[in-house]
Amino acid sequence: MDPFRFTLRQLQHFIAAAEVGTVTAAAAQVHISQAAMSQSLNELERAVGQQLMVRTRSHGIQLTSSGRRFLADARELVARAADVQQEMIDRSEELVGPLDIGIYSAVAPFWVPFLAEHFIVPNPQVSVRIVEGDGKALQRQMLEGRFDAVFTHTGHLIDGVRHQVIRKGQGYALVAPSHRLAGRTSATIAEFGDDPYVLLDVPAVSENQLPKLRAGGIEPNIQWRSTSFEAVRGLVARGLGWSVLVQRPPVDVSYDGLPLVTIPLENFEPSDICIAFVQQRHSRRLTELIAVCTAEGARLDAQTASNRAPNTASS
């Protein structure tokens, strides 16, 4: 078999030149001299047997039709080479490399501490970056290449992403012990009628939860709004309204020590906690992260099923 007549380095130089538009700028970008850049591009054209670009003083670099087609192939080859290199690193005993994670703000308090203890600390060679925010906005940024994965709800998923469920979710009504339905083991949405409602006021919730409440037979009487999960719980605990949430802390008590009551909803579509991603084939880092979180979610689900009554009030 004939040896390859061009190198990955030459492909990288060609891609840089095509993207920045001049030999001088491309040379600066990859930290070589202008003469070395010109030589590399000339050698690449000789190797492929075609003119890939036209270089002029006034207009810089213009790709030929062959050059435009070759550019797509060059990018694919360089990207695959980077993947192979990372796969070799991933096969080592230690996980190594970057991992950029987005986490929906309402999910973050439940999962960031766990990730810190059980993934970040045990894997010091993985450079983990965590950004909190709106679940849908983070997913859109993931599609642009800014994140490897996003923690969110299945009800908040957008087109173009895949996901892995890590914990079952179930929407529940949250009320103060004084609420007229506080003693119920379950309830329908319609039974809350015109009771004052406390909204977790983030886009993903507004876009997904309010239509579900209307489908359940009510127009929510929104009296209070907050972007803070705990502020919503605090308002409910003071008897100012009821709310529907999915995340459930292990104790039914507000930040200021007031008791809360949870009521399972009979006609509210559940929304599971999941990790969303784009690529079907994961790095070993992301595969391990998903495995660790899936195991923890299964443990928590089993613990909830065996140790917790469906309706409790703590004092």
CATH of the domain at 76: 1.10.10.10
Residue 17 lies in a domain: yes
Query: Both 56 and 112 in a single domain?
Result: no
Residue 115 lies in a domain: yes
Query: Both 128 and 155 in a single domain?
Result: yes
In whole angstroms, give the CA distance from residue 157 to residue 139: 8
Q: Residue 198's domain is classified under what CATH number?
A: 3.40.190.10
Handedness of CA 131, 134, 135, 139 (dihedral sign): negative
Task: Check whether 307 has a pLDDT greater than 60.
Answer: no
Number of domains in the chain: 3
Q: Which of 90, 124, 145 is the last residue of a domain?
A: 90
In whole angstroms, give the CA distance from residue 298 to residue 219: 35
Query: Both 246 and 101 in a single domain?
Result: no
Query: Both 259 and 178 in a single domain?
Result: yes
Query: Both 140 and 282 in a single domain?
Result: yes
> What is the pLDDT at residue 1?
42
C-alpha dist (Å) from residue 11 to 1, 7, 49, 78, 258: 21, 7, 14, 7, 64
| CB neighbours of residue 92 within 10 Å | 10
| Inter-residue long-range contacts of 95-98, CB under 8 Å, 24+ positions, other chains counted | 95/123, 95/125, 95/126, 95/284, 95/285, 95/288, 96/125, 96/126, 96/285, 97/125, 97/126, 97/127, 97/283, 97/285, 98/126, 98/127, 98/128, 98/129
Q: Do strands 261-264 and 196-200 pair parallel, antiparallel, or not at all (unpaired)?
A: unpaired
Query: Both 244 and 282 in a single domain?
Result: no
pLDDT tens digit string along 159-182? 999 999 999 887 899 999 999 999
Closest-CA residue to 273 (of 171, 157, 151): 151
Residue 313 lies in a domain: no
Tell me if residue 242 falls in helix, strand or coil.
Answer: strand
Query: Both 280 and 149 in a single domain?
Result: yes
> What is the pLDDT at residue 63?
92
Residue 3 lies in a domain: no
Residue 200 lies in a domain: yes
pLDDT tens digit string along 98-121? 999 999 988 898 899 999 999 999
Residue 185 lies in a domain: yes
Tell me if residue 10 falls in helix, strand or coil.
Answer: helix
Query: Both 204 and 121 in a single domain?
Result: no
Query: Both 116 and 194 in a single domain?
Result: no
Residue 19 lies in a domain: yes
More confident residue, 266 or 239: 239
Domain that holds residue 71: 8-90
> What is the pLDDT at residue 139?
94
Query: Both 133 and 186 in a single domain?
Result: no
